[in-house]
Amino acid sequence: MAKSALSFVCQNCGAAYNRWQGKCDGCGEWNTLAEEDITGATTMPVSVRSRRKGRLFTLETLTGKTQDAPRLSSGMAELDRVTGGGFVRGSVLLVGGDPGIGKSTLLTQATSLLARAGHRAVYISGEEAVAQVRLRAERLGLADAPVQLAAETSVEDIVATLSEGTVPRLVVIDSIQTMWTDTVESAPGTVTQVRASAQALIRFAKKSGAALILVGHVTKDGQIAGPRVVEHMVDAVLSFEGEGSQQFRILRAVKNRFGPTDEIGVFEMTGLGLREVSNPSELFLSERDLGSPGTAVFAGIEGTRPVLVELQALVAPTSLGTPRRAVVGWDSSRLSMVLAVLEAHCGVKLSGHDVYFNVAGGLRINEPAADLAAAAALVSSLTNAQLPTDAVYFGEISLSGAVRPVAQTSARLKEAAKLGFGRAVLPESARGDIGSDAGLSLDTVAGLTTLVADIAARG
Ligand code: TYD
Ligand code: MG
């Protein structure tokens, strides 16, 4: 009989300590340590287990076999894009996101579509009753789909149920924080429980070949275990993001063992569930404010897909000693860099101004190619000069104030031309990458000074 082992476990990152302390050394969070009984989290001593030999494979003998495990399309192109082409057999996905963002809606739709296509798909809810899940499916127009539903929180019961009959192709667990296993003593929701439950479910997925999706709530107060402890155990982590006030939802891969991590899936939350947005540029530009200075359209690339998005800047004289710099959707140190280059090389005085910067539609941009569009929006706001409404901008700015070329110039231009833009402002050195017919007129700039002078001339 194992002795009960008490330990202090950080509810945010899962680090364990012998003594209580105010701050977790693992993740730096305060007041996240809680006493947990971790008996049973450790397995039996080796001497008790029967010793079995592991099997070794050579890579070349496996080559043919990977083709036996094709990907299973979810029936939603935007979801497949993010997973890298569908669910891989036996793989485990963690879908994280704020409460109410639409995780249950997305996964109800995915399981229903799979079930309709004739696959065994199981949706297990630990948060809602079966009737509630059915109500949602009804609202989504999917009530006729032969999805198998269960309202269950005991991992042992779930695994027993799933092991009956044909192997399910997809199992959704909504959410991992509500699951508990009787192999550990801690209360449901604690890190030890979440980790042990996830382990048991993952073991089932790997053994049976069913694709498993775990839903995880991201909580800010650290009361319920964040899904971060599970992140290391799964094959892919997808994050479902969006701003409460807006209808756009963006699915992004944070980690993916079987696909890219730079693709995004774009959805729109409607009264009838999530609608896939196959042309995000149209959506992001749909509410453009054409008449005002301080906005510039950036021709960006997300994964393999060009995405046009509006960048908005507001530059206003400050009343504070240290001016404010507020950024949404872009890297704040990147903004500081662009401001410093404008100030040092172009004589644009911004140190007496507050700067607010926003990427429209809730998109988050990581590309340095956004520098030029950001600079254009900033200068436009400062000088109160409206930018041409039919222009897109892209290019990276170097610390010396030069505008440098970026990848995929022609894809960006093609998307802009498709959406009816008439001209593009881009790096001088990108000219070589462009074929004879770009489809729109090109304003090339070699340095940031040229751009600033052009905008000032319009004011
Ligand atoms: P839900 O999927 O329950 O979120 P999560 O599982 O991430 O907590 O979605 C909750 C929100 O979505 C809720 O505020 C209502 C809204 N919603 C719609 O707007 N349309 C719909 O068809 C559905 C099902 C939900
Ligand atoms: Mg939910």
Q: Could you read off the pLDDT of 86-132 as tens digits, one per residue?
A: 999 999 999 988 888 899 999 999 999 999 999 999 999 999 999 99
Q: What is the 3-state secondary structure (H, E, C) of 117-133?
A: CCCCEEEEECCCCHHHH
Instruction: Return the percentage of the chain with pLDDT > 90, whole number.
Output: 53
- Our CA dihedral for 150, 154, 160, 161, rounded to 10 degrees, sits at 0
Q: Could you read off the pLDDT of 397-438 as tens digits, one per residue?
A: 999 999 999 999 989 999 999 889 999 999 988 887 776 667
Residue with tokens 């110039």: 409
- For residue 42, the model assigns a pLDDT of 47
Banded pLDDT at 339 (limits 50, 70, 90): very high
Range with the lowest mean pLDDT among 235-244, 326-335, 403-412? 235-244
User: Ligand 1 within 6 A of 100 CB?
Assistant: yes
Banded pLDDT at 312 (limits 50, 70, 90): very high
CATH of domain 72-278: 3.40.50.300
The answer to whether 123 touches 174, Cβ cutoff 8 Å, is: yes
Structure tokens that stand for 451 in this block: 């751009």
Banded pLDDT at 459 (limits 50, 70, 90): confident
For ligand 2, the distance from its centroid to the CA atom of residue 122, given in whole angstroms, is 15
Structure tokens that stand for 278 in this block: 């196959």
Residues 6+ apart with CB under 8 A from 395: 369, 371, 372, 403, 404, 405, 406, 425, 426, 427, 430, 445
Question: Greater confidence, 227 or 125?
Answer: 125
Which ligand is located closest to the Cα atom of residue 274?
Answer: 1
The answer to whether 230 touches 213, Cβ cutoff 8 Å, is: no
Distance CA 379, CA 323 (A): 17
- For residue 223, the model assigns a pLDDT of 40
- For residue 1, the model assigns a pLDDT of 44
Range with the lowest mean pLDDT among 1-10, 173-182, 323-332, 349-358? 1-10
User: Ligand 1 within 6 A of 141 CB?
Assistant: no
Amino acid at 436: S
Q: Could you read off the pLDDT of 279-290 as tens digits, one per residue?
A: 888 888 877 877
Most confident of 144-153, 259-268, 435-444: 144-153
Average pLDDT estimate for 248-263: 87
- For residue 35, the model assigns a pLDDT of 81
- For residue 364, the model assigns a pLDDT of 87
Distance CA 191, CA 36 (A): 9
The helix (run of H) or strand (run of E) holding residue 220 is none
- For residue 38, the model assigns a pLDDT of 62
Instruction: Return the percentage of the chain with pLDDT > 70, whole number.
Output: 91
Ligand 1 atom showing the smallest separation from residue 101 Cα: 7
Residues 6+ apart with CB under 8 A from 212: 91, 92, 93, 170, 171, 173, 201, 202, 204, 205
User: Ligand 1 within 6 A of 334 CB?
Assistant: no
What pTM does this model have? 0.80
Distance CA 330, CA 429 (A): 25
Residue 333's alpha-carbon distances to 294, 330, 339, 370, in angstroms, are 20, 9, 10, 13
Return the bridge partners of 270, or none.
273
Structure tokens that stand for 342 in this block: 């404008």
Going by C-alpha positions, the residue among 443, 413, 410 that lies closest to residue 428 is: 443
- For residue 222, the model assigns a pLDDT of 38
Ion ligand 2 neighbours, Cβ < 5 Å: 104
Going by C-alpha positions, the residue among 225, 151, 163 that lies closest to residue 192 is: 225
Helix axes 103-116, 130-139, angle to 10 degrees: 80
Average pLDDT estimate for 235-259: 86
Q: What is the ipTM of this complex?
A: 0.96
CATH of domain 283-458: 3.30.230.10
For ligand 2, the distance from its centroid to the CA atom of residue 453, given in whole angstroms, is 52
* CA atoms 169, 175, 178, 184: torsion sign: positive
Average pLDDT estimate for 19-24: 88
Average pLDDT estimate for 373-401: 95
Which residue's CA is the nearest one to ligand 1's atom 25? 273
Residue 254 is given by DSSP the state E
- For residue 50, the model assigns a pLDDT of 60
Distance CA 449, CA 440 (A): 23
Average pLDDT estimate for 230-241: 89
Banded pLDDT at 51 (limits 50, 70, 90): low
The answer to whether 361 touches 409, Cβ cutoff 8 Å, is: no
Q: Could you read off the pLDDT of 168-222 as tens digits, one per residue?
A: 999 999 989 899 999 888 888 788 888 899 999 999 999 999 999 999 887 654 3
The answer to whether 103 touches 168, Cβ cutoff 8 Å, is: no
Query: Would you say residue 70 has pLDDT above 80?
Result: no
Query: Would you say residue 225 has pLDDT above 70?
Result: no
Query: Would you say residue 44 has pLDDT above 70?
Result: no
Please classify residue 140 by burial: count the beta carbons closer than 10 Å to its beta carbon, then call 0-12 exposed, 13-18 middle and 19+ buried: middle
Best of 111, 269, 275 for a ligand 1 pocket test (most atoms within 8 Å of beta carbon): 269
Query: Would you say residue 49 has pLDDT above 70?
Result: no
Query: Would you say residue 159 has pLDDT above 70?
Result: yes
Range with the lowest mean pLDDT among 40-49, 314-323, 362-371, 439-448? 40-49
